[in-house]
Amino acid sequence: MNNPTLTTLLTHRSVRKFTAEKLTADEVATLVSAAQHAATSTFSQQYSIISVTDPHKLAVLGEITGHHWLESAGHYFLLVADQYRNAQLAPKTDTTIANLHSADKLLAGIFDAAIATEAMVTAGESLGLGSTIMGSILNDTLRVISLFNLPKLTFPVLGLAVGHPAEKPALKPHLPQELVHFDNDYQPITADNPVLADYNRLITAYYHERGSNQRDETFTHHIITEMSRDPKQRAEILVALAQQGFSLSAAD
């Protein structure tokens, strides 16, 4: 099966090198419009998008993420889970307050912001733009919150650098469908799964052949590396969630 939408979706790659050309106001508005047309939990539209154009703020984000190249991207967006706006609309009763501060509504805001982000990525790619989503803004969540004056009941979710691509990275092979798509029941896996072994060989070949940062790598090793990071590095996220008024306690 093939059509232009599928081609865009099936040829997605993150782009981390851009030309100096900035996005036009029309392109920025089109990406925001794509975000706004994405599905949104309970039609509550519980996210906000901040265009970051202030060079100082971009430099701070470059420092926090370690991705200094974002400072010269064609445009930078910050996607924020946002229950604050809706809190202004609802009368302050015990019930509305409990709802707005709940883990349920926190998740809903995160879903909305993440789905909106992906809509922007795909819309950008359909226009010939490239992008990289950045969860690394959460390397210093409290600083991001203060940098953008995020009020209580908001939370920074993702950054998104967009621009005119100055590279065309090789497509990354993703897991075989039989490891991610099951019929009716969850299918557990063990580390010695032969399909996984084949995929590990595919990933090794990909990392040997790709244009930059070539190395010996398997998916299994990649996951072990990811799992071996010091969890304290981002322990601040819980502090930030509490500061922003989100309650994660089952007792509440």
Ligand X SMILES: Cc1cc2nc3c(=O)[nH]c(=O)nc-3n(C[C@H](O)[C@H](O)[C@H](O)COP(=O)(O)O)c2cc1C
Rounded Cα gap, residues 169 and 214, in angstroms:
12
Q: Which of 71, 151 has the CB closer to ligand X?
A: 71
Q: Cα 110 to chain center, whole Å? A: 10
Binding mask of the shown chain, residues 125 to 154, with x at each position contacting ligand X by CB under 6 A: -------xxxxx------------------
CB of 16 to ligand X, least distance (A): 6
Amino acid at 160: L
Q: What is the CA radius of gyration of the chain?
A: 20
By CB under 6 A, is residue 14 in contact with ligand X?
Answer: yes
Cβ proximity of 148 and 58 under 8 Å: no
Cβ proximity of 145 and 78 under 8 Å: no
Q: Which of 29, 223 has the CB closer to ligand X?
A: 223
Sole residue written with tokens 């996005």:
23
CB of 188 to ligand X, least distance (A): 24
Q: Which of 55, 173 has the CB closer to ligand X?
A: 173
Give the footprint of ligand X on residues 160-199 (CB under 6 A): 172
Give the footprint of ligand X on residues 32-91 (CB under 6 A): 65, 67
Q: Cα 149 to chain center, whole Å? A: 20
What is the binding site for ligand X (CB under 6 A)?
A: 12-14, 65, 67, 132-136, 158, 172
